[in-house]
């Protein structure tokens, strides 16, 4: 037993770095910009240069500017500093301009000069101001030749006064970049080593310590924020499990040896509700039973405006105070999953009924109920354990929908809010917590197989 458990724990530990790397890679290509949202939340009025500097400082504060892994592959005219640039527009500008072999220092100098070109509006004509805006737009998608042509046209067509010196510097920087260009280097790959200053190493170090820092959204400790939500989700899933599995197994078991119309009608009704997507079923329950639109007889629970938990006083006090609000989420879990448990149990018992040991018990004169209780139930325990463990693990996915619709501040709702905001520390903590929870559930199920099926004692 000990070697088996040790091997499984090693598998879990080895999977964690792979999971972290996969998550960070997906987060990198995500369209959500958490740094942008933090800057917008501050309600700052920033010019282009101040915005760039603020963006870079904010990203550095939360290690969001670090490269993804220990090394990166680029071309030889790049610089290791390129991988620490946080602003995506600046990175795209450098990639686009450097394709012609332009050196990193020249591209960065050009970008800074063009970004800092902010002439006074009072002294310029409308057409000149329009050309300035066009210059800013060209930063996003133009080639170096297009920028050179546009700057030359601006110098020729308008009198820029004191700002003409800045335009001349931009034009000179473009010429310097062209002179220093080394086109061959843009085709030669180079491996850039970043050492431990990368996002993967930082996340792995935080995982080992169990400290993921603070939330990007509200500055709260990630551990406190996740555990508070996880306790509520765990309590909700526990209530659902102790209701659905005993009831579903009991109904499926009775259907295996009783031919009753009421059992068949229960099965049909439950299958009807199970066929409804969970988000739709939850919405229907919320609409019909929390509003007076369909009569006072259906208006049993409070309206959606006041529906939800407040965790100010602690998780257990919130559960006691808001226990009534768990009824509809529990009913949604029950209607969605009870038919599945019932049908699987019924099918399992029917499969066991045709085996030789049940036929022998029948020939000895045992009644159907006795055969079910004394023989089939014992042999069906491993399969029932598989159903229960997989059902509990998948319930965390169902809780995501339930918590969001019913305004329950569990880990599922926290996960959705963190995805929408791009709160990377919280997302890493939730992903790892759900992975470890599911892994430990399946590990516990594997250990229990040994006691339910003697044939597995030697194998385990």
Would you state the pLDDT for residue 245? 92
Q: What's the farthest any 2 CA atoms get from each other in the chain?
A: 110
Confidence (pLDDT) at 356: 78
Write the CB contacts of 262 (distance below 8 Å, at least 6 apart in sequence).
none
- C-alpha distances (whole Å) from 180 to each of 104, 113, 187 are 10, 18, 16
Q: What is the pLDDT of residues 172-221, one digit of tens each?
A: 888 888 888 888 777 888 899 988 889 999 999 999 988 888 898 888 89
- What pLDDT does residue 193 have? 92
pLDDT, tens digit, 9 for 90 and up, residues 133-172: 888 888 778 888 888 898 888 888 877 777 788 888 888 8
- 334-to-112, 339, 421 alpha-carbon distances in Å: 60, 9, 32
Q: What is the pLDDT of residue 17?
A: 94
CATH of region 222-456? 1.10.3720.10
Q: What backbone phi and psi angles, to 5 degrees, belong to 73?
A: -115, 125
C-alpha gyration radius of the chain: 32
pLDDT attached to residue 427: 93
pLDDT at 440: 92
pLDDT in the model for residue 105 = 83
What pLDDT score does 460 carry?
Answer: 52
> Domain-by-domain residue ranges, the chain?
71-193, 222-456
DSSP string, 103-120: -HHHHHHHHHHHHT----
Closest alpha carbon to 303 in 317, 293, 318, 313: 293
Q: What percent of the chain has pLDDT over 90?
A: 17
Decide if 222 contacts 215 (C-beta within 8 A): yes
Residues of the chain under the 70 pLDDT cut: 42-45, 294-299, 301-322, 367, 373, 454-460
* CB 71, CB 200: distance < 8 Å: no
């Amino acid at each position: 037993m000990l070697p088996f458990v040790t091997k499984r724990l090693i598998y879990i530990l080895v999977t964690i770095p792979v999971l972290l790397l996969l998550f960070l890679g997906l987060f990198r290509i995500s369209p959500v910009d958490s740094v942008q949202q933090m800057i917008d939340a501050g309600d700052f009025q920033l010019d282009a240069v101040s915005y760039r500097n603020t963006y870079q400082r904010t990203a550095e504060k939360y290690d969001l500017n670090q490269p993804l892994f220990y090394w990166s592959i680029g071309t030889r005219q790049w610089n290791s500093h390129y991988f620490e640039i946080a602003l995506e527009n600046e990175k795209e500008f450098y990639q686009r301009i450097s394709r012609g072999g332009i050196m990193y220092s020249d591209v960065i100098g050009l970008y800074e000069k063009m970004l800092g070109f902010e002439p006074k509006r009072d002294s310029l004509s409308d057409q000149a101001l329009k050309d300035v805006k066009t210059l800013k737009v060209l930063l996003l998608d133009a080639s170096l030749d297009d920028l050179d042509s546009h700057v030359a046209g601006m110098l020729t067509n308008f009198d820029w006064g004191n700002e003409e010196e800045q335009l001349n510097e931009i034009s000179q920087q473009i010429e310097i970049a062209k002179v220093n260009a080394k086109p061959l280097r843009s085709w030669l790959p180079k491996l850039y080593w970043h050492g431990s200053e990368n996002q993967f190493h930082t996340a792995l170090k935080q995982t080992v310590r169990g400290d993921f820092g603070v939330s990007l959204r509200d500055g709260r400790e990630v551990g406190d924020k996740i555990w508070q939500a996880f306790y509520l989700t765990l309590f909700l899933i526990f209530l659902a499990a102790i209701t659905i599995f005993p009831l579903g197994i009991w109904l499926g078991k009775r259907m295996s040896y009783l031919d009753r119309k009421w059992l068949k009608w229960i099965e049909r009704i439950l299958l009807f509700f199970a066929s409804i997507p969970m988000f739709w079923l939850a919405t229907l329950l919320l609409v019909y039973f929390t509003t007076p639109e369909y009569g006072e007889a259906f208006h049993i629970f409070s309206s959606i405006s006041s529906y939800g938990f407040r965790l100010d006083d602690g998780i257990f006090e919130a559960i006691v105070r808001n226990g009534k609000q768990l009824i509809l989420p529990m009913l949604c879990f029950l209607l969605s999953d009870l038919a599945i448990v019932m049908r699987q149990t019924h099918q399992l018992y029917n499969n066991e009924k045709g085996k030789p040991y049940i036929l022998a018990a029948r020939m000895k004169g045992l009644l159907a109920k006795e055969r079910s209780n004394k023989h089939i139930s014992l042999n069906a325990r491993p399969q029932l354990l598989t159903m229960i463990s997989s059902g509990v693990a998948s319930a965390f996915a169902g809780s995501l929908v339930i918590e969001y619709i019913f305004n329950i501040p569990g880990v599922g709702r926290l996960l959705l809010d963190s995805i929408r905001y791009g709160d990377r520390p919280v997302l890493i903590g939730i992903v790892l917590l759900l992975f470890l929870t599911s892994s430990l559930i399946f590990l516990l199920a594997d250990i229990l197989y040994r006691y339910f099926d003697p044939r597995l004692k030697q194998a385990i």
